[in-house]
Amino acid sequence: MKICGISGSLRAKSYNTALLHAVKDIAAPDHEVVIADIADIPLYNGDVEASEGIPASVERVAGMIREADALLIVTPEYNAGIPGVLKNAMDWISRVKPSPYDGKPTAMMGTSPGRLGTVRAQMQLRNQLANLNTLTVAQPMIFVGEAGKYFDEGAGGLDDATKGLIQKQLAALAALAPT
């Protein structure tokens, strides 16, 4: 299974990007995680779309999602929702036809310094993914609270319980992906 991984943070020392890299390491040898960068996707503007079409940066990420067997979104939580940069990238990508989201096996996870670990952002993301007609993994959900404990410099990395949950989620994602 080839998984296209997207982090919803542009921060160089992002906890969520660190979590995505951890998934890459934890994934089974036959699960390849390819990371798609959304940093150069411009703000959505319907006038730009009408006059210039879909930007190359959007086509690139849409192509990576289309070529992958599955999509994994690792999202921070900003004000109880997903970050604007992630929503904006998802909105632009939804304008590509045919939609790379349609029927795409998809999983999500996220991490934050708080104890809720992006629960509220993921509930919002789940709703958006339903609208985009992805096949979204229901369980296990992965909310990694107290991010600094795992990802700050000198921290020991993820604990075995969280690694186990990630393995279970990837197995659930593989079960949704066409063989």
Ligand X SMILES: Cc1cc2nc3c(=O)[nH]c(=O)nc-3n(C[C@H](O)[C@H](O)[C@H](O)COP(=O)(O)O)c2cc1C
Q: Of these, 112, 134, 136, 162, which contacts ligand X (CB under 6 A)? A: 112
Give the residue among 126, 39, 46 at the shortest CA–CA distance from 82.
126
Report how many residues bind ligand X under the rule CB under 6 A: 14
Minimum distance, C-beta of residue 24 to ligand X, in the bound complex (Å): 16
Minimum distance, C-beta of residue 134 to ligand X, in the bound complex (Å): 22
> Which residue shows structure tokens 């990630």?
166
Which lies closer to ligand X via its Cβ, residue 69 or residue 77? 77
Backbone angles phi, psi at 91, to 5 degrees: -65, -45
Query: What angle in degrees, to the nearest 10, is found between the helix axes of 84-93 and 56-67?
Result: 80
Q: Of these, 11, 39, 45, 123, which contacts ligand X (CB under 6 A)? A: 11
Which lies closer to ligand X via its Cβ, residue 15 or residue 101? 15
Check if the beta carbon of residue 163 is closer than 8 Å to that of residue 142: no
Check if the beta carbon of residue 125 is closer than 8 Å to that of residue 73: yes
> Taking contact as CB under 6 A, which single stretch among the options 20-28, 35-43, 53-61, 111-119 is the one that binds ligand X?
111-119
Six-digit token pair at 24? 């890459």
Q: Residue 122, interface with ligand X (CB under 6 A)? A: no
Q: Residue 79, interface with ligand X (CB under 6 A)? A: yes
Q: Of these, 44, 78, 92, 143, which contacts ligand X (CB under 6 A)? A: 78
Q: Cite the DSSP H helix spans in the chain.
A: 15-26, 46-52, 56-67, 84-93, 119-131, 147-151, 160-176
Give the residue among 144, 176, 173 at the shortest CA–CA distance from 32.
173
> Taking contact as CB under 6 A, which single stretch among the options 34-42, 70-78, 124-132, 171-179 is the one that binds ligand X?
70-78
Minimum distance, C-beta of residue 159 to ligand X, in the bound complex (Å): 18
Contacts with ligand X by CB under 6 A lie at 9, 11, 14-16, 76-80, 112-114, 116
